[in-house]
Amino acid sequence: MIRPARPEDAGFIARNILAAQRGPRPRGWFDITLDVPEPQCLAFVERLATAQQRSWWHVSQFNIAEVDGEPAAALCALPASGTLVAARAAIAAVAGERGLGEAELAEISRRGAYAANCWVQGEEGDWLLEHVATLPAYRGRGLVQALIEHALASGNAAGFSRASISFLIGNDLAERSYAKAGFAFAEEKRGPDFEALTGAPGFRRFVRAI
């Protein structure tokens, strides 16, 4: 069953986000940007998932695939326009809640900036799919394909004609999955600093009509 995520799913969504950002690598964007032990990292992302300032990490943007009543996979889908501005505002709001000062927030921003030169986001009029992940025990059951199909139908119903999705270069499992769903290569960006921190050369973006 595919259903909208709810506030009580925030813990699952937080783990989903970290898994999606890491791909086959040990560390993803939040691991590097927050630079705290995993429990603290998860707690921060879990708060983002229910924060008043909505972003692409918010539960309201996610759908969950359940197996036998248990969350097994998820992705978010939303208009590409304004996502980065909302993301920065959400991080600032949660950092403030947690008592982090301006200097600490500036450090978060500095550590996260490594991705800027390699980021390939959907264009303004795109329907954006992000943070796609499946729990290891449920892989190979077609859950991602079902979630993508559901997300594309939602985008079409909202009046969008093109969907965009990005992933780490070298995440072959993601690339095969998105190609199977009808996506095709649009662009990629690489950078030595990005690769030094993550082990991946950069980001690749696929698109498809909906």
Beta strands in 36-139 (DSSP E): 62-67, 70-79, 127-134
144-158 pLDDT, tens digit each = 999 999 999 999 999
Q: What is the mean pLDDT of residues 103-132?
A: 94
Residues 6+ away with beta carbon under 8 Å from 106: none
Amino acid 103: pLDDT: 97
As for how many domains the chain has, the answer is 1
- Residue 56, helix vs strand vs coil: coil
Structure confidence at residue 157 (pLDDT): 98
Calculate Rg over the CA atoms of the chain.
16
Q: What is the pLDDT of residue 69?
A: 95
CA 76, CA 154: separation in Å to the nearest integer? 11
Is pLDDT at 93 greater than 90 in this prediction?
A: yes
Instruction: Name the helix (H) or strand (E) containing 165.
Output: strand 162-168
Please report the pLDDT score of residue 168 as a whole number: 97
For Cα atoms 28, 2, 132, give the angle at the middle one, nearest 5 degrees. 15
pLDDT single digits (tens) 24-65: 999 999 999 999 999 999 999 999 999 999 999 999 999 999
State how far the Cα of 94 lies from the Cα of 100, in Å rounded to an integer.
9
Tell me which residue range forms the domain holding 64: 2-209
Residue 90: which CATH number? Answer: 3.40.630.30
